[in-house]
Amino acid sequence: MERSTAVSMELPAEAYLWFKAFHIIGVVVWFAGLFYLVRLFIYHVEAEEQPEAVRPLLRQQYGLMERRLANIITTPGMAVAVTMAIGLLVVNPGWLREGWMHAKLGFVALLLAYHAFCYRLMGQLHANSCQWSGRQLRALNEAPTLLLVVVVMLVVFKNDFPSGATTWLSAGLVIAMAASIQLYARKRRLRAEREAGSHAG
């Protein structure tokens, strides 16, 4: 009787560790895919600025890369992350009564909406009907970074989510990083436009 009880206690603990390991792997793959997918969207949109002769080839190439990345890496990563998260909640049902988990699930819902929106943009790009500019897509590409930071902090701190100077400093660093990326991209684009203008002149 004692042995069977010990085995029953070990199984949920082992299951928790497996669910947790594959959940982390799924999250890493999912976010890697999301980050690169929107970067491909940027290249796809900016391909319209290239000479007419190479535009069809670039559209085809980026379209193929987008579909493969979304369907082979990004979406499977999302599926693994979500499935393993459900497993974690089954093993630890008490988490569903915690405020931090409610907040985390809300942000995960936003990530899922972002994921679905990326598929919508991909369809528009393939139909040559996307109205988003490269600059707008660069700003959009920062959204999962902010969501990732918040979700990780919720998981680490749970109900003791910090609200002091360290938290604001961390948020400021993330915002500064996103702003610096935008400024660098803008500087590079302006430089390319100037070089193109000088060659044309």
3-state secondary structure 34-65: HHHHHHHHHHHHHHHHCCCCCHHHHHHHHHHH
Predicted pLDDT of residue 79: 98
pLDDT digits (tens, 9 = 90+) for 9-43: 455 788 899 999 999 999 999 999 999 999 999 99
The structure's pTM equals 0.78
Per-residue pLDDT band for 86 (boundaries 50, 70, 90) equals very high
Per-residue pLDDT band for 103 (boundaries 50, 70, 90) equals very high
Per-residue pLDDT band for 197 (boundaries 50, 70, 90) equals low
Round to whole Å and give the CA distance between 61 and 200: 27
Pair 47, 55: CB distance under 8 Å = yes
CA 42 to chain centre: 15
What integer is the mean pLDDT of 75-88? 96
Least confident of 10-19, 35-44, 143-152, 164-173: 164-173
Q: Is the pLDDT of residue 185 over 70?
A: no
Closest CA to 63 of 4, 130, 14: 130
Round to whole Å and give the CA distance between 61 and 20: 36
